[in-house]
Structure 1
C-alpha cells in the first residue's frame, strides 16, 4: 500500500508535526521514518497547505506507528509492574529525547523503545535536575549515539543547545511563545536572566529591541549563537555578566530566575528586583517568575513584589498571575505580570 509523506529537515520535525496536526493532515497511524542522515519522512493524509516541506513522496508498505511506549514495552516482554516504572512523559528536543527515568528497570531498553517511537531523534537522556550557581543540568545518556548537542525548533524559533551543559525546560513552551506575542516592534526589553535565549529570541524575532544578560559562559555562548541562527543579531544585544551591574532603560523587563524575588526566607533579597525597577521606565511591564510552594500561593510572590516596589517608591498594578507548570512536589512555577509606574 502506498501512502503519502512529506520530507523535512530533522531539526524542523517537531514544529512540522505540530503544524500538520493543527492543519489536520498528520497521519499518526504511521511511524516517522528516517529519510537520510539529515531528513525525516512525516506521514500525512494529503499535502499540507501551510506547513513548509521539501517534497512529498509515496511510501511503500509504511510501518504502522506503535500506539505508545507502554504498548511497545509490552510487546518486548515487560511486565505490568515494570511498565509502571517506565517514563510516563518525555520531550523531544531536536534530535534528543529528554525523560525522567527514576527507578525504571532496564532504562537502556526503555530508551531504545523511545527511539523507535521517535525516529527523528538519535539520543535519549535521563534528566536528573540542575546543580550549582549556573543551574547546570545533571543528565546521563541512556540510549542512542550520545550526542547531547542539538537544535530544537519551537514556534519558528531555533534553539541551539547542549543539553549536558545548559538547562532547557520543555514545560515552558507556552510561556516562551507568549512572550513573543506580548511585545511590539521597536519596544525596548531587558531580559535579566536570558540563558540561551528562551524568552529573548521570540521577543527579538517579533521586532523588539532586546538586551539579553547571562552570566553562565556556556549558556551565553549558545545565546550569541542563537542570535545569529535566528537572524536577530541586529535587534538582540547580548551581555555576559551580572544583570545587577547592567545599565539599561527598558519598556519591559523579564525576570526569568526563580529566586529573583529572594529565597525561602523572608527578607532574603538578592537585589534583582531593585535592579529591574532601576531599568524599567514608568508605565513599563514587569514579568516575574518564581517557584512557590502551593500553600504560599499567591501571598509570597505578590507580597515580595509589592514590598520591593514600595521600597523603590514605585506604584505597581498586578495584571495577571498564572501557573506555568509543576516545578517539583507541591511547588509551582508561576509568573506575575505587572505594570509599574
Structure 2
C-alpha cells in the first residue's frame, strides 16, 4: 500500500482516487466496493499510458496502489440515461437503450437489442468506464462449441483481454470464446468449497472458468475441453495463474477421457469431485444419459458432483435432481442432495441452476 495522502491531496477527500495498473482495474474496483470506499459518483479515468485513477472516498486499507491523487473536473454523470440525455436522446430512445452490461477486462460487453444509435451508447459506456477501451455488442451463443457472436460498436476494437476476479486471471478473446459475467459468484464458490488435494474432473472446462479457482485452492484437476480455441486459453491461463502442476488438460470428448479410466490420476481411476458446467449435460439419450452415466461411474463413493442445468421455471431443481437419481440408480448408487441454488436467469422462463450432490 502507498503512504497516506499528502496534505494537498487531503484537502478534498471527496475527490480522492488511487492509481493502479490498468490491468488490475476491475479487481481493484471490486475490492474497493467490498471495503466500502469505492466512489460510484465519479468516473474511473486514465492516468498515463498504463494506469487508471479509481475514485475512492478514502484511501483503502486492504488494496495495494501506486499513489493517491485528486481528481479534478465535474462529477461524472452516474447513469447511462444521464449520458444519453446529455447527447439529446428522447425518452422513447432511452427506453430502448440497454439496461445492463458487464466490464470484462478492458471490454464492455452489452446486448444492444433494438437500441438506436449503438455507437453513441458505446461511446457513453466508454466514458463511464475508464478502465475499458472497447465496447462489444453481444449476440446469441450458438454451436457445439458455444461460440459467441459479437460486434464492435465503439473504441479500439480489441476483443482479446485479461479479466481478473477473486485473484484469478482469465485470458480470452471475446469474439471466439464465451464468458458469462453472471457466473462470477459460482466461479468464486468453487474455489472456496473444494478441498486441497481433491481429485477433480472438470468435464466442460472452457478457458478454465472453474478449473482455475479450484486448482488455485490446491485441488488436482483434470480439465477436459473440446473447443480448440478455448483449450488454448485453458493452457495459457493455467500458466498465467501458476497452476500448471495441478491442472492436466485434455482437448477431447469427455466420453473418450472417461472411457480411458482417468489414467491422469494413476492408480486412482476415480475422482472425489466432478463439475458438469454444460447446461445440456444432463439430457437423457435413449435409455441412459450421455454424460451423467460415465460421470457417476467415475466418481468415488461419497464423492460430490456439481451439475449445472438450464431448467424451465416450473421444473426448477426437480428435473436435475430426478435425472441425477435416475442415472445413479441404474448403477446401484444413491443421491444425497447437498445444496441447490439459482445462478442467474438463462432466458424467458428458464433459469440456470446448480445442484451439488453426494453420490454414495
Q: TM-score range by the shorter chain?
A: over 0.9
The aligned counterpart of 1:284 is 303
How big is the shift at 1:112?
0.6
Alignment of 1:1-341 (within 5 A): 3-59=15-71, 61-246=72-257, 247-248=261-262, 249-262=270-283, 267=286, 269-341=288-360
Query: Which runs of at least 4 in structure 1 moved beyond 4 Å after TM superposition?
Result: 266-270
Residue 156 to residue 268, structure 1, CA distance change in 2 (3 Å): farther
Comparing 242-251 with 286-295, greater Cα deviation is found at 242-251
* Mapped contact 1:261–1:301 kept (Cα < 8 A): yes
Pick the structure with more strand per residue: 1
For 2:4, the equivalent position in structure 1 comes to: none
Alpha-carbon distance in 1 for matches of 2:181, 2:104: 8
Per the TM alignment, residue 105 of structure 1 is displaced from its structure 2 partner at its CA by 0.3
Which consecutive unaligned segments of at least 5 residues does structure 1 have?
Answer: none
Per the TM alignment, residue 279 of structure 1 is displaced from its structure 2 partner at its CA by 1.6
Unaligned runs of 5+ in 2: 1-10, 263-269
How many Å separate the matches in 2 of 1:78 and 1:269? 55
Q: Size of the alignment, in residue pairs?
A: 338
CA deviation profile, 1:196-218 (whole Å, cap 9, x unmatched): 00011000111111111101000
Q: SS at 2:337's partner residue?
A: strand
Over the aligned positions, Cα root-mean-square deviation in angstroms equals 1.4
Does structure 1 retain, via aligned residues, the 8 Å contact 2:42–2:78? no
The alignment's TM-score, normalised by the length of structure 1, stands at 0.96
What SS does the corresponding residue of 2:161 show, helix, strand or coil? strand
- Give 1:57 deviation, angstroms: 2.5
